[in-house]
Amino acid sequence: ANAAGTKLVILSFDGITCPFYRAYAAEDLYKVSNGVPHLHVYLREAEPCDVFDAGGMHMTTPLAMKRPVPWHKTEADRAKIAKETKGFFETFMGDGKCNMWMDTMDDNLEALYEARPWRQYVVDVTTGKVVAKIGLAPFNMDGKCAVIKKACAKGGK
């Protein structure tokens, strides 16, 4: 936040197997954030292909993944997909612009923030307080974008 000259940061919990998130939600939310920096946390997938196949939609629809994403069994599994997700985000954020972290394998942050399948919180770094949050996904995207846009209207200044 300091490097961006803002008092806000968006804590973004990301799971890429949600087709709505990868198709448009991640980019739409980024576009309305008015330059407020994002801290991405890659977390436990909500729809891994070996646990929640969703009728094969991961691989057979226009929203198909490049490859199947199974349940993460190790930190290395999760780190591999986190790195690929970072690359995907940088297609609309710009190269090197995605600050990506990873939840622990006990899914501590996912549980604390009720973050799955994906969720965002706008945090005032001067107080540590959450000033805005979006509800559980993928419903009401217009409302979610409005919440982020309003919270970030002045670029966090």
Q: Where are the domains positioned within the chain? A: 8-151
Q: State the pTM of this model.
A: 0.89
Kindly write down the DSSP assignment for every residue of 123-138, as one continuous string: EETTTTEEEEE--SSS
Paired tokens of 64: 């198909």
Q: For residue range 133-154, list pLDDT tens digits in order.
A: 998 877 899 999 999 999 999 8
Q: Helix, strand or coil for residue 8?
A: strand
Per CATH, which fold does 8-151 belong to? Answer: Glutaredoxin (3.40.30)
H-state helical runs in the chain: 19-20, 26-31, 57-60, 75-93, 108-113, 141-151
Whether omega for the bond prior to residue 62 falls within 30 degrees of 0, making it cis, is no
Q: Are 17 and 49 in contact (CB under 8 A)?
A: yes
pLDDT in tens, 82-130: 999 999 999 999 999 999 999 999 999 999 999 988 999 999 999 999 9
Question: What does the alpha-carbon distance between residue 120 and residue 137 come to, in Å, rounded to a whole number?
Answer: 10
- On whether the CB atoms of residues 38 and 30 are closer than 8 A, the answer is yes
53 or 121: whose pLDDT is higher?
121
81: three-class secondary structure by DSSP: helix
Q: Which residue has the tokens 């576009």?
A: 31
Tell me how far apart the alpha carbons of residues 44 and 129 are, in angstroms, rounded to a whole number.
25
Confidence of residue 69 (pLDDT cuts 50, 70, 90): confident
- What residues form DSSP beta bridges with 11? 39, 121
